[in-house]
Chain A
Amino acid sequence: MGIIETKKLIFEYIRRDEEGNVEGITRAVDQVDLDIKQGDFVAILGHNGSGKSTLAKHLNAILYPTEGTVWVDGKDTAKEEYLWDIRQNAGMVFQNPDNQIIGQVVEEDVGFGPENMGVPTKEIWERVEESLKAVGMYKYRKHSPNKLSGGQKQRVSIAGVIAMHPKCIILDEPTAMLDPNGRKEVIRAVRALNQVEGITVILITHYMEEIIHADRAIVMDQGHIAMQGSPREIFSQVERLKELRLDVPQVTLLAYELKKSGVSLPEGILTCEELIAALPV
Chain B
Amino acid sequence: MTNKTLTGAPLHPAVEIYVKDAQTGKLSRREFMARTTALGVTSAAAYGLLGLAQPAAAAGHAQQGGTMRMQMEVRALKDPRAFDWTQMAFVTAGWLEYLVEYNSDGSFEPMLLSGWEINDDATVYTLSVRQGVQWNNGENFTADDVARVITDWCDKNAEGNSMAGRMTALVDDVTGTAIKGGIEVVDAYTVRLNLPQSDISLIAGMSDYPAAVYHSSIDRENPANTPVGTGPYMIESNEVGVKAVLVRNEGHEWWGYAEGKGAYLDRIEYIDYGTDPSAWVAAAAADEVDMTYETVGDFVDVFESIGYERSEIASAATLVIRPNQAAEVDGVKPYADVRVRRAISMAVDNSICLELGYADRGIVARNQHVGPMHPEWADVPAIDYDPAGALALLTEAGMQDFEMEISSIDDDWRKNTTDAVAAQLRDAGFNVKRTIIPGSTFWNDWTKYAFSSTNWNHRPLGTQVLGLAYRSGEAWNEFAFNNAEFDALLDDANAIAAADERAIVMAKIQQILVDEAVTIQPYWRSLYRHCKPGFVGWEMHIAYLPQIYKIGIAA
Q: Real complex partners, A and B?
A: no
